Amino acid sequence: MLVAGQPDCDLQWLEALDEAAVAKIDATEETKRLETRRFRFDCGCTLEMILPILGGWKNRLDDLFEDADAIQLQCPRCAAKYRVTREMIR
């Protein structure tokens, strides 16, 4: 639950709130929902965005791939995994 002090709120009451008071706030106070929002995490990463970052490896593909035909990259934000081949970097 989010409790937010609106303009002209009773600051003494708001500052005195603790977890127990918030848990029963709907029984002790007149409340109403201001709005409902749906949240969705969307990193927005794509393989097309990630491949240019690997451009610096074009002349060192053996160092990057070693003996593998492909490598797997993982987005540091959302953990999406991408398979990258040597041809994709060239």
Please list the pLDDT of the chain residue by residue as tens digits (90 residues). 788 888 999 999 999 999 999 999 989 988 888 888 898 888 999 999 989 988 889 999 999 999 999 999 999 889 999 999 999 988
Kindly state the tokens that stand for 54.
Answer: 């690997």
Domain-embedded: residue 80 = yes
Domain-embedded: residue 52 = yes
Domain-embedded: residue 79 = yes
Domain-embedded: residue 3 = no
Domain that holds residue 77: 47-89
Domain-embedded: residue 39 = no
In angstroms, rounded to a whole number, what is the distance separating the alpha carbons of residues 45 and 76? 10
Domain count, the chain: 1
| Coil, helix or strand at residue 9 | coil
Domain-embedded: residue 64 = yes
CATH number at residue 69: 3.90.1280.10
